Chains A and B, each alone.
Chain A
Amino acid sequence: MSDDLSRYHRQTLLPGIGESGQRRLDESCAVILGCGALGSLAADLLARAGVGHLKIVDRDFVELTNLQRQLLFDERDVADAIPKAEAARRRLSRINSSIRVTAIVDDLNHTNIERHAEGADVLIDGLDNFETRYLANDFAVSRGVPYVYGGAVGTVGASYAVLPHTAGGDMPWESAAHGNLASPCLRCLFEEAPPPGSMPTCDTAGVLSPVITTIASFEVAEAIKILTRNYENVSRSMLNIDLWNNTISQLKVSRAYEDGNCPCCKQRRFDYLEGELGSGATTLCGRDAVQLTHRQDAPNLDLGAIAAQLRSHGDVVSSRHMLRAAITDNGKPYSLSVFPDGRAIVHGTAEASVARSIYAKFVGN
């Protein structure tokens, strides 16, 4: 960014930001994990706010069904069949050419998060599955990087900012003028990730676009407070909204750290970061298929419920032993086989990232 802050004048007028805060934004790096609906809007707002370096990690390509809610993308991106991270980089460079945007087209997992999140001053959650959220949470707590959770599906959304408790207790938010402002992590609130197939996804249950814009806006507001070191203004509550049924709640969660025995931020066990929990992917040689397995024990999936969700996408056959669904994703046909223990085989690809994406969208994890 040039020394000329004039384009940010309406932002530097804010007492909590000012010119010093604006320079802090310029010196900051925000890593946006997932560039779907939440991630793309968050990226747009952070670019306009003048965050000096945005790193955008996403494994998917822009599809026509994304355009209803993913505001950075347009029909040309669909026609060009370009990755979301790259489409976002192109668009953001036209919005604010004075910042740096790095596009990372990859499947975020425990083997690469260290590399992709390197240098992050804040992690922004634009993810579509809980497994990767717990990975991000593990990284945030182990490395002392704030993490802003956001989730949205159907007509509901939730957001919550984590200022992690660290082993050394020496992060700026842990020794602020207002006391220790560290907050419970995502695993303090939800100790175990929801089992595969137990949660609705945007591809199976739909999503109301204003829920996305509301939650992404909350995420970005928290990120700006964090990057400008206004830690005392970071929300101590978890937001839950239902824009269709007109309910908003802000739940105080501070006691979850003291009252609980969080495996992550209290026991300092980083199960997802170390690959102990989460899923594994194996390419099945000569079969144009990828098998996904889960490392944790989970109750059996309700294959009937998943079948009901998938019928709007194509032919589905299910029994209590297996479900097989014909689905189309990004214009390509796939066959998805799901077993009661959560194991799945995605036929039609040899790429683990494609298989993981399809599983997250159509089964949910």
Chain B
Amino acid sequence: MNISVQYFAVFREQAGRDTEDLTTSAATAGELFAEISTRHGFADSVERCKVAINDELASWTTSLSDGDVVLFFPPVAGG
């Protein structure tokens, strides 16, 4: 299926891009993160970040559908 992935904060820095359109066989958000994490060398694990699908917070076990927009984001510290 075709997924559009958005990267925020440290994920953007490590991926070197804001967005990426890709074809994947990952069934869930967690599987997609694992697939991408290996390719981009993400330092963060799923315990330390969150995923949103189509602008709604999702869990790592949420199923993906063709055309989904998936955002990976960490908490923002500092202030």
Chain A interface (Cβ < 8 Å from any Cβ of B): 34, 36-39, 125-130, 150-154, 156-158, 189-190, 192, 194-195, 198-202, 205, 207, 212, 238, 240, 242, 245, 247, 249-253, 255-256, 259, 302, 305, 364
SS class, residues of chain B in contact with chain A: loop
Report the nearest B residue to A250, measured CB to CB.
B55
Complex Cα–Cα for A176 and B23 (A):
45
Return the 8 tightest CB-CB contacts between A and B, nearest first.
A153-B78, A151-B76, A158-B76, A199-B77, A38-B79, A252-B56, A253-B57, A202-B78
Scoring B residues 29 to 73 as 1 if CB is less than 8 Å from chain A, else 0, what string do you get?
A: 000000000000001100110101001110100000000000101
Interface residues of B (CB under 8 A from A): 6, 8-10, 12, 18, 43-44, 47-48, 50, 52, 55-57, 59, 71, 73-79
Tell me the complex Cα distance, A130–B74, Å: 12
Note all chain A residues with C-beta closer than 8 A to B74: 194, 199
CB distance from B20 to the nearest CB of A (A): 13
Other than the known A190-B50, A251-B55, what 18 A-B pairs have Cβ atoms closer than 8 Å?
Answer: A39-B79, A127-B79, A151-B76, A153-B76, A153-B77, A153-B79, A158-B76, A192-B47, A195-B48, A198-B44, A201-B77, A202-B79, A240-B8, A242-B12, A247-B18, A252-B56, A253-B57, A256-B57
Q: Which of B9, B55, B57, B79 contacts A156 (CB 8 A)?
A: B9
Residues A251 and B56 in contact in the complex (CB < 8 Å), given A190-B50, A240-B8, A245-B18: yes
Chain A residues in 8 Å Cβ range of B52: 249, 251
Most buried by A among B44, B48, B50, B78: B78
Closest residue to B44 on the A side, CB-wise?
A198
Q: How far in angstroms is the closest Cβ of chain B from A341? A: 17
Contacts of B57 in A (CB 8 A): 189, 238, 251-253, 255-256
Given contacts A156-B9, A194-B48, A200-B10, contact A151 B55 (CB under 8 A): no
The CA-CA distance from A151 to B73 in the complex, in Å, is 13
Measured CB to CB, the closest approach of chain A to B52, in angstroms, equals 5
CB contact under 8 A between A249 and B78, given known A190-B50, A194-B48, A242-B8: no
**Among A129, A194, A302, which residue has the most Cβ atoms of chain B within 10 A?**
A194
Q: Is the CB of B12 within 8 A of A245?
A: yes
